[in-house]
């Protein structure tokens, strides 16, 4: 909104939805039903394996990557199937497994290492249960939620999301021992989409950021 006020973000309107502390799926469903040819950006946890693990492959494919609303439950693909949801627009979903699950997670090795030396805050067991290990019987899959959205006659034209875990390091960096916000890459994607660029062109901002970080390393 600050950029819009400065004339640097040419959006017709910007609307923030949902209670920050206790968001509800219904609020998102109502807002997405009214949105046409716009950009929807959501940020949440993505559903991973329950405490006892997935009961079946089918259950995992139906549930993993669903939007988590905390005590309000999850928003799964079955709940938006065939319904109006960001019609003719673009949905950018920031959440673990939001777009799907790969055949082998890029983070499995690092989580195991961090856990072994006590440098991971939280329960690594719960996270590791959701991660594929690259064994032959595990296959990558696209999450049910974006499939349902894109299949809807009144759904979005495109979906952007994570095919693995999503981290706060995507928009927060540690410099000189302090956290610094680095949201420019996401802002530039939204700016490009509102300008009318194709999604592939808009995503070049992430490719550029990835290239810059590799060069730094």
Summarised one tens digit per residue, pLDDT across range 171-198 is 777 666 677 677 778 888 888 888 888 9
Summarised one tens digit per residue, pLDDT across range 132-160 is 765 545 689 999 999 999 999 999 999 99
* Strands across the sheet containing 90-94: 39-43, 90-94, 158-160
Which residue from 72, 65, 64 is spatially nearest to 26, judged by alpha carbons? Answer: 72
Whole-structure pTM value: 0.83
Give dist(CA 179, CA 83) in Å, integer. Answer: 40
């Amino acid at each position: 909104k600050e950029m819009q006020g400065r004339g640097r973000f040419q959006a017709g309107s910007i609307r923030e939805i949902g209670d920050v502390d206790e968001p509800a799926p219904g609020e998102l469903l109502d807002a997405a039903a009214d949105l046409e040819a716009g950009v929807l950006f959501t940020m949440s946890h993505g559903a991973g394996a329950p405490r006892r693990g997935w009961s079946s492959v089918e259950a995992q494919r139906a549930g993993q990557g669903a939007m988590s609303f905390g005590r309000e439950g999850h928003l799964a693909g079955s709940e938006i199937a065939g319904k109006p949801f960001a019609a003719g627009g673009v949905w950018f979903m920031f959440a673990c497994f939001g777009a799907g699950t790969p055949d082998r997670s890029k983070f499995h090795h690092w989580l195991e290492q961090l856990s072994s030396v006590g440098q991971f805050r939280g329960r690594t067991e719960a996270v590791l249960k959701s991660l594929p290990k690259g064994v032959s019987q595990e296959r990558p899959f696209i999450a049910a939620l974006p499939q349902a959205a894109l299949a809807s006659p009144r759904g979005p034209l495109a979906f952007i999301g994570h095919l693995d875990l999503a981290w706060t390091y995507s928009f927060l960096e540690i410099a000189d021992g302090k956290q610094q916000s680095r949201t420019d890459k996401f802002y530039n994607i939204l700016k490009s989409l509102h300008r009318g660029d194709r999604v592939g062109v808009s995503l070049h901002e992430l490719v550029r950021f990835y290239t810059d970080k590799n060069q730094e390393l």
